Chain A
């Protein structure tokens, strides 16, 4: 399956990366990781470097690219234009009380993407 993982520098993104790499190893997915310019203060290039390192450690073959601009719409466009089967996203941040808060990227992609979307918990 051709999978597009969208992530910023937050923990839920990296958790989604681990789960997606695990699945890719078992299922032989064709995986692309899009590192997005999200509202968090993390530098896109630094996050991409961390992602490449994690992928190399994992020994899975995956492509990493950085995506500038509105993260949700860029992700949905890439998925549609390049024939991805599925978009994978982190399952949201937890508040101090443990409430799940879906981010703006997840909300936009769920409502606007034409492909299946998976949130990783």
Chain B
């Protein structure tokens, strides 16, 4: 595996969890640290996830596959934040370490909560949580046609590191 290229300069400080805000549809949303204690609630969220919003094979569709996948994401070394509305998770963002000590990022928001600013708040808070825990290098891959997502990642400080495969790879330096 070739080494990823990261921006030379770290980004500024992101907000840290917990964080409360009103989303674009007037709903009260809280973003907080998450982990194993949210396992069953997150299984429920991913069971309700619109299959059309899947990307690159995740989240899985079958409940058994969702459970196996979440077991991995909620492991000790990963960092998780959830966005909740009325106590129930409506979005989830994750940093999972790879074998190089760098972290892969992903974010998921339930369909009816999209386009209301929740993804942005989730990502900023997750990156702030990462900074708090000393995470320095974060990467992600995104489908090339997903321009809104790419624009958002760019706004947060991600830069394209690899544009030569099916998916675009982007990186950010947190500290």
B-binding residues in A (CB < 8 A) = 94-104, 107
Q: Select A97's contact among B104, B164, B166, B167, beta carbons within 8 Å.
A: B104
- Secondary structure of the A side of the interface? loop
Q: Is the CB of B165 within 8 A of A97?
A: no
Q: Is the CB of B58 within 8 A of A102?
A: no
Q: Is the CB of B104 within 8 A of A96?
A: yes
Residues in A with CB closer than 8 Å to B115 are none
A-binding residues in B (CB < 8 A) = 55-58, 60, 69, 72-73, 94, 96-99, 104-106, 141, 164-167
Bound: A102/B69 CA distance, A:
19
Nearest 7 pairs of A and B residues by beta carbon: A100-B57, A99-B56, A96-B96, A96-B98, A97-B104, A98-B58, A96-B104
Q: Is the CB of B56 within 8 A of A101?
A: yes
In addition to A95-B98, A97-B58, A101-B165, 20 A-B residue pairs with Cβ atoms within 8 Å of each other are: A95-B104, A95-B141, A96-B96, A96-B98, A96-B104, A97-B94, A97-B105, A98-B58, A98-B60, A99-B56, A99-B57, A99-B58, A99-B104, A99-B106, A99-B167, A100-B57, A101-B141, A101-B167, A102-B165, A103-B165
